[in-house]
Amino acid sequence: MRRLLMIAILYCGLLTWGCDKTCECTYSPSPTEPSDEASIVVTGPDSTVTAWRGHPLRITWTSANVVGSVKILYSRNDGDTWPFTIIESTINEGEFFWTGDAPLTRHCRVRIQTTGSPLAYGESPSSFTLQTYGWTIDGPASLFTVRATATNGVDLFAVGSGGSINQRFAATGEWSDRNSGTTRGLNDVHFVDQQVGWICGGNGVIRRTTNGGVTWSSIPSVNTIEVRAIHGFDSMTAMAASNMLWHTANAGASWDTVAGMDTAIVNRLFFHDSQRACAVGNNGFIAISEDGGETWAVRNSHLFATLVDVHSADGQTYYAVALEGQVVKSEDRGETWRVLDLDNAPALSSVRSRSALELLVATGDSRLLHSIDGGDTWVYYNVGSEHYFNTLLIEPTGDGWVGGSGNVLYRLGIVDSE
């Protein structure tokens, strides 16, 4: 009897200890217990990304308990409204590549949402920019074919057929026709600083300015044949490319051939700084210098083509283009080169890179080629019509110029609103 009484007391105590009769008990799932609520989190793009119209943009997200496909929307006002649909339905695999075919803005966001029940959505963690290149005609009144452009740090100079030199004043946007003292076509122009500049052209023409392009004086030439490229170091020192590479240290009073370059037909000289340089020419010729052009080492371009231009934004990654529609790239300061995959390309005439990955190429059929992934993929911009572009100039900001036949010069700029 006593044992039964003790068991009864213990049983009642356990009931009382396990629950206070004055509380309202509610059930809360364990934190580790899975929930069936659908969720989507957009992980990219965000404010660290700049998207380009026409180039693939990678949209990424994670999801939980989402059944079926998802819809992707686009906002140009930081997510206040979502009037544009990127795709009505796509597989919920956490990744989608979009070509940016939407209004430009600096306030882009994307939204991923379910196409069925239960409803769930996620938005870009921050705004990103969608942009492209735009262009307007901005050239001199004189009729000539633009073959080369350069700046003296302030104003733009365009040279070309018939000995034409035109200076565009940055302060006013007006053009002034300068007297070159020759009717021979001019092939290249290079400024050392705001005052000193050099030009070269047909029949051995070489000219120099020491007053910011106002007047140009004749310089004794290397010979009487075509001078294709020129690079000035100061008012007395320059390097000129003709049937071989030449150097003067006394404003042309005498010219010496550069060692190792006495048989090279060079079409373009590019100096990244006072020491690093690259020269390109006929038959796939490429040579590099690490001592300011005193000595050169020939490298294998893997092409037997007419290389006409070369450029590097950082001195490490170089791009060179050929008339035959080919692009070669070096990622080790010009030591080794590889041919990029660019099927059915037109004649290429000029190249400029803004970074190791982004570059623009001018073509012989009025187009610009643009890559933002180091030449793996390309977008074509149709600029004008029936022009053969000869020259391309791009500033670090992205602003620039492209010019060629038909007295045409286009001003380029990045557009991020419309």
What's the CATH number where 114 sits? 2.60.40.10
Same domain, 159 and 284: yes
Quickly state the pLDDT bin for 35 (edges 50, 70, 90): low
Could you say which of 132, 155, 170 is where a domain stops?
132
Give tens-digit pLDDT for 318-366: 999 999 999 999 999 999 999 999 988 999 999 999 999 999 999 999 9
Alpha-carbon gap, residue 170 to 399, rounded angstroms: 13
Higher pLDDT pick, 275 / 22: 275
Same domain, 59 and 137: no
Could you say which of 86, 114, 132 is where a domain stops?
132
Which residue has tokens 């050929």? 322
Q: How confident is the model at residue 8, as a pLDDT?
A: 42
25 contacts: CB under 8 Å, gap ≥ 6: 19
Q: How confident is the model at residue 24, as a pLDDT?
A: 37
Strand duo 128-137 + 50-52: pairing = parallel
Same domain, 328 and 386: yes
Could you say which of 110, 132, 154 is where a domain stops?
132
Residue 16 in this model has a pLDDT that exceeds 90: no
Same domain, 119 and 59: yes
Q: Is residue 108 part of a domain?
A: yes
Contact 269, 303 (CB under 8 A): no
Alpha-carbon gap, residue 55 to 363, rounded angstroms: 19
Q: Containing domain of residue 58, as a range?
A: 39-132
Residue 27 in this model has a pLDDT that exceeds 70: no
Same domain, 165 and 83: no
pLDDT more than 70, % of the chain: 92
Written as one string, the DSSP assignment of 24-62 is -------TTS-----EEEEEES-TT-EEETTS-EEEEEE
- Dmax (CA) for the chain in angstroms is 132
What's the rounded mean pLDDT across residues 77-99? 97
Alpha-carbon gap, residue 117 to 67, rounded angstroms: 8
Quickly state the pLDDT bin for 22 (edges 50, 70, 90): very low
Q: Is residue 163 part of a domain?
A: yes
Q: Is residue 152 part of a domain?
A: yes
Residue 380 in this model has a pLDDT that exceeds 80: yes
Q: Is residue 34 part of a domain?
A: no
Q: How confident is the model at residue 247, as a pLDDT?
A: 97
Angle made by CA atoms 247, 252, 257, in degrees to the nearest 5: 25
Same domain, 141 and 274: yes
Quickly state the pLDDT bin for 142 (edges 50, 70, 90): confident
**Of residues 114, 122, 124, 28, the one with CA closest to residue 65:** 114
Other beta carbons less than 10 A from residue 397's beta carbon: 9
- pTM, two decimals, is 0.89
Q: Is residue 183 part of a domain?
A: yes
Q: Is residue 178 part of a domain?
A: yes
Same domain, 260 and 398: yes
Assign residue 178 the CATH number of its domain.
2.130.10.10
Same domain, 190 and 75: no
Residue 23 in this model has a pLDDT that exceeds 80: no
Which residue has tokens 């283009």? 321
Structure tokens at 53: 């119209």
Q: Is residue 23 part of a domain?
A: no
What's the rounded mean pLDDT across residues 100-129? 95
Q: How confident is the model at residue 395, as a pLDDT?
A: 87
Q: Is residue 52 part of a domain?
A: yes
**Of residues 331, 240, 243, 318, the one with CA closest to residue 286:** 318
Same domain, 385 and 264: yes
Q: Is the dihedral of CA 79, 84, 86, 89 positive or negative?
A: positive
Give tens-digit pLDDT for 235-271: 999 999 998 999 999 999 999 999 989 888 999 999 9
Same domain, 96 and 64: yes
Residue 25 in this model has a pLDDT that exceeds 70: no
Count of structural domains, the chain: 2
Structure tokens at 347: 């004649």
* End-to-end CA gap in the chain: 94
- CA trace torsion 300, 303, 309, 315 (10° rounding): -30
Q: What is the mean pLDDT of the chain?
A: 91
Alpha-carbon gap, residue 274 to 276, rounded angstroms: 6
Same domain, 194 and 58: no
Q: Number of C-alpha atoms within 13 angstroms, CB side, residue 15?
A: 7
Higher pLDDT pick, 103 / 31: 103
Same domain, 258 and 318: yes
Alpha-carbon gap, residue 351 to 349, rounded angstroms: 7
What's the rounded mean pLDDT across residues 144-158? 97
Q: Which residues lie across from 166 on neighbouring strands? A: 158, 177
Q: How confident is the model at residue 224, as a pLDDT?
A: 87
Q: What Å distances lie between residue 239 and 117, 244, 391, CA to CA?
A: 71, 11, 20
